[in-house]
Structure 1
Amino acid sequence: MNKYFQLLVKNVKKQLETWLNEKEVIQHKEVYRFLHSIAGTASTIGFTVAGDMARKLMGQLNLDEEREWKKEDLQSFLLPLISIIYYEEYSNIDEIIERKSEYEDKKLILLIDDDTALLMYLKEKLEENDWIVIAVADPDRAINSYYDLNPSCVIIDIHMKDKNGLDVLLQLKEKMKQQFIPTIMISNDQSKELRIKSYKLGTDDFIHKPIDIEEFVVRINRQLERKQAIDNVMLIDELTRVYNRKFLPQTYDRFVSSLNRRRQPFCMALLDLDHFKNVNDTYGHIVGDEVLATFADTVRKGLRINDIIIRYGGEEFIILLPETKTREAKLVLERILKEFSNIPFEANDEEFYCSFSSGIHEVQSNETDLKKNIEIADAALYEAKQAGRNQIKVAAVHNLEIKKKPIHVGIVDDDPIIRTMLEDLISKSKIMDDFTVDIQTFKDGMEFIEADWHLKNNEQFLIILDGMMPRMDGLEVLQKLRALPYQERFTVMMLTSRKSEHDITRALKLGADDYITKPFKLLELETRLGHLIKRMK
Structure 2
Amino acid sequence: MKEGKIRFLSEMQKQVNEMERLLDRIADGDDASLPAQLYRYAHTLKGSAPIFGFASVGAVAARIADQWEWALEEEQNKASVCFVRKSVPGTKADLMQLKMEWNILQRELLTVEQNGQGDWQPAAALSGTLLVVDDDAALRSFLVRRLELDGYSVHEADSVDSAKLKLRERTYDLILLDLMMFPLSGYELFDELKEDPTLKWVPLIVLSARSDVRDKVRCLMLGANDYVTKPFEYDELAARIYSLLSRTRNFEQLAFRDPLTGVFNRRYFDHQLELELQRLARDPAPISIAFIDIDRFKRVNDTYGHAIGDLVLQGLAHLMQQHLRPTDFLARFGGEEFVAVMPNTTGEQAVSRMESVLQLARQQPIAEFEGQSFSITFSCGVAEWVPSLPMKQWVVLADEAMYRAKEQGRDQVVLAGYPEEAAQRISTEAGAGLKRVLIADDDSILRSMLASRLKKLPLQVAEAADGEEAFRYLSGNEVDLCILDGVMPKLDGFGLLERMKSDAEGRFRNTRILMLSGKKREEDIAKALRLGASDYMSKPFSLIELEMRVTRLLETER
TM-score above 0.5: no
Instruction: Identify the structure with bigger relative contact order (alpha carbons < 8 Å, sequence gap 6+).
Output: 1
What TM-score, normalized to structure 1?
0.30
| Structure (1 or 2) with the larger CA radius of gyration | 2
User: TM-score with structure 2 length normalisation?
Assistant: 0.29
